[in-house]
Structure 1
Amino acid sequence: MQDSFIEIIGFIAAILTTAAFLPQVYKTWKTKDVSSLSLPMLLLFFIGIVSWLAYGFLKNSPSMIFANSITVVSSFLLVYFKIKYRE
C-alpha cells in the first residue's frame, strides 16, 4: 500500500513538472525565437533527463519513466529548435 501511495505522489510530480515544460516548447516552436535559450543549459538538462530516465528504468518506477520519457522528447525538441533557428 505504501509503495502505491509513493508512486501516486511520483505521478503527480511527474505530471506537474512535465506539463510546466511544455508551454516553452510550444512557444519556441510557434515563434521560432530561441534567443533566450541557452544551448549549454539545454544540453546539460537533456543529459540529466536521459540519466533520470535510465534511473527510472533501473528502479522500475513507472512515474519516473512516464515523466522523463515525455521530457526527453520535449528537451530534445528545444535543443533541435535552438540549433535550427539560431541566428
Structure 2
Amino acid sequence: MNAADLVGYIAGFCTTVSFLPQVIQVWKTRSVADISLGMYSLFVSGIVLWLAFGIAIGSWPVIVPNLITLLLAGSVLVMKLRFGIRQAA
C-alpha cells in the first residue's frame, strides 16, 4: 500500500465513522423529525456516484469507505422514510 492509498483509507475511515452516531441515535430514539430528507437523499445519491466512480477506476480506497458510508447513510435514509411516516401520522 502506498502513502496515497493510506491517506485515502484514513480519510474514508474518518468520514464513514462520522455517520455512526447518527445511525445509533435514530435507531435508539426512532426520532427522525430533525433529519433532512432532501439532504440525505442527495447525499446517498452522491455516495452511489462516488462508489460507481471508485469501481470504474478500480480504487479500493474510494470503493471501501463509500460502500460502508452508503450502508450507514442509506440506513438513516431508510429509517427517515420508515419512522417519518409514523411520526407524521
SS in structure 1 of the partner of residue 18 of structure 2: helix
State percent identity of aligned pairs.
38
The 5-angstrom pairing of residues 12-51 of structure 1 reads: 12-51=10-49
| Runs of 4+ more than 3 Å apart | none
Unaligned runs of 5+ in 2: none
Report the Cα distance in structure 2 between the residues aligned to 1:44 and 1:8, rounded to whole angstroms.
28
Report the Cα distance in structure 2 between the residues aligned to 1:30 and 1:43, rounded to whole angstroms.
21
RMSD in angstroms over aligned alpha carbons?
1.1
Aligned to 2:60: 62
Q: CA deviation at 1:23?
A: 1.1
Q: How many aligned residue pairs are there? A: 85
Give TM-score, length-normalised by structure 1.
0.93
